[in-house]
Structure 1
Amino acid sequence: MDRETRQTALATFLILGVFCVFLYFVPTIMLAVGKISPVLGALVVALVLLAPFVFFWLRSRSRNKN
Structure 2
Amino acid sequence: MSPESRSQAIAAAIILFCAGLVIYFLPTIVLWIGSFSPALAVIVGVCLLMCFFGIFWLRARHQRSRKP
Note whether the superposition's TM-score is higher than 0.5: yes
What is the deviation of 1:48? 1.1
Q: Structure 2 length normalisation: TM-score?
A: 0.81
Q: Percent identity?
A: 38
Aligned residue pairs: how many?
Answer: 66
Unpaired segments ≥5 residues, structure 1 = none
Counterparts of 1:1-66 in structure 2, within 5 Å, are: 1-66=1-66
- The superposition leaves residues 16-65 of structure 1 with CA deviations (integer Å, 9 ceiling, x where unpaired) of 10111122222121011111221111111111111111111111111221
Superposition misfits of 4+ residues, deviation over 6 angstroms: none
Coordinate RMSD, CA, aligned: 1.3
Whose relative contact order is higher, 1 or 2, with alpha carbons under 8 Å and at least 6 apart? Answer: 2
